[in-house]
Amino acid sequence: MPVSKISRRALLKASASATAGLVASHLVPQSQAQVPPPPRPRRNTRIRFAAIGLNHGHIYGQTDAVLEGGGELVSFYAKEPDLIAQYAERYPQATLARSEQEILEDESLQLIVSASIPDERAPLGVRAMQHGKDYMADKPGIISLEQLAEVRRVQAETQRIYSIMYSERLRNRATVKAGELVQAGAIGDVVQTIGTGPHRINAPRRPDWFWDKARYGGILCDIGSHQIDQFLFFTGSTEAEVVTAQVGNLHHTDYPDFEDFGDVMLRGNGGTGYVRIDWFTPDGLPTWGDGRLTILGSEGYIEMRKYVDIAGREGTDHLFLVDQEGVQYIDCKDVPMPYGPQLVDDIVNRTETAMTQAHCFLATELSLRAQQQAFQLPPANTSTD
């Protein structure tokens, strides 16, 4: 991948360009998301799998990940005609099943993937495991501590894989590259991660369940779980606690069960973390959110601009490495994403190379406990007296 040294003058110039870009971006129409073609199926099929529940667009990344690993997509099931039509067009090799049960009872299938409505994901995963199948959910894969307890119990009983695809790490090339650099000791020992996950609200296009906390679990449970997964991964923490957290519906009070802001501080046995997430991405940004992650090490730091570089570089997957030698920019657009092949390996070999079950459940538990413990912020311009 291209790597370039950045001089102090170039950094100052980039900073100035970023300021100009913020102004100019208000004049640029919002870009439309381009959906890449699905990966070509491998000739050597390693597992057969199906999809149940297509309610979030992450289902396409989940499906592609398994295809990249040698999975054969056999069938799918959903209730919504528009979602069925979109999925069938992208994956014409898959047959629309008559019911969820038809897929659960198909003994030729090893894996079920799902991006159903969040409160339905854990119960589906329990049913999948009880039918002898491994399961991969979109995040949040579990939205309550009660669901987590049940998933843990059934997973221990069945020894099936319950994986949650935290796509901001597992389907992001810059974050994959950061993992390689950290493992190689590029910044020494990791001290802290700072993750921010801003999203655009797109209110008219959101389904009713999007606004219902009982269905999506709250902002720290939902999009916060991406950042908490990354905190655990990069610090190498196997134990962690929530230090403090807060959430609020600051500006979308027409939707009383919605949360548009949240943050949390974490302390682990490998480092500390701070997470801030929100639904305030302005329309002037040419993508859905300026997701960023900073990893502080004892010998340097890494910063990722995952989806846009407001300083002006085209494309996504931007990584900056600062160490004792200087500053480097790394374009990560060609970095392979190993999660799909690793998960298929784990299904075939009964291993834990894609993600340990302990990590999966700990990231979820921290998200849920942060949500449960969070201080409730009042709406903006509301007195706290």
Residue 34, Cβ density class (10 Å: 0-12 exposed, 13-18 middle, ≥19 buried): exposed
Q: Is residue 375 part of a domain?
A: yes
Do 351 and 212 fall within a single domain? yes
Distance CA 262, CA 242 (A): 13
Do 84 and 119 fall within a single domain? yes
Do 279 and 356 fall within a single domain? yes
Predicted pLDDT of residue 382:
57
Residue ending a domain, choose from 144, 165, 186: 165
- If one counts every other C-beta atom within 10 angstroms of the C-beta of residue 201, the result is 19
CATH at residue 249: 3.30.360.10
Q: Report CA Rg, the chain.
A: 21
Do 193 and 70 fall within a single domain? no
Q: Is residue 35 part of a domain?
A: no
Q: What is the mean pLDDT of each run of 10 residues along the chain (385 residues)?
A: 42 36 30 59 85 97 97 98 97 98 98 98 98 98 98 98 97 97 98 97 94 97 96 98 98 96 98 98 95 98 96 94 97 96 98 98 98 95 53
Predicted pLDDT of residue 42:
66
CB 42 within 8 A of CB 17: no
Q: Which residues contact 271 (CB under 8 A, 6 or more apart)?
A: 190, 191, 192, 193, 231, 234, 235, 236, 237
CATH at residue 65: 3.40.50.720
Residue ending a domain, choose from 108, 130, 165: 165
Do 211 and 278 fall within a single domain? yes
The domain containing residue 71 runs over which residues? 47-165
Q: Is residue 255 part of a domain?
A: yes
Residue ending a domain, choose from 133, 165, 197: 165
Q: Is residue 39 part of a domain?
A: no
Q: Which residues contact 160 (CB under 8 A, 6 or more apart)?
A: 128, 129, 132, 133, 134, 135, 154
Do 118 and 243 fall within a single domain? no
Q: Is residue 37 part of a domain?
A: no
Do 119 and 237 fall within a single domain? no
Q: Is residue 180 part of a domain?
A: yes
Cis peptide before 286 (omega within 30 of 0): no
What angle do the packed helices 118-130 and 145-158 form, to 10 degrees? 20
Do 241 and 261 fall within a single domain? yes
Do 17 and 61 fall within a single domain? no
Predicted pLDDT of residue 44:
82
> Torsion angle of alpha carbons 277, 280, 286, 290, nearest 10°?
-20
Q: Is residue 122 part of a domain?
A: yes
Q: What is the chain's length?
A: 385
Domain total in the chain: 2
Do 196 and 152 fall within a single domain? no
Do 106 and 187 fall within a single domain? no
Predicted pLDDT of residue 312:
85
Do 109 and 176 fall within a single domain? no
Q: Is residue 65 part of a domain?
A: yes
Predicted pLDDT of residue 39:
76
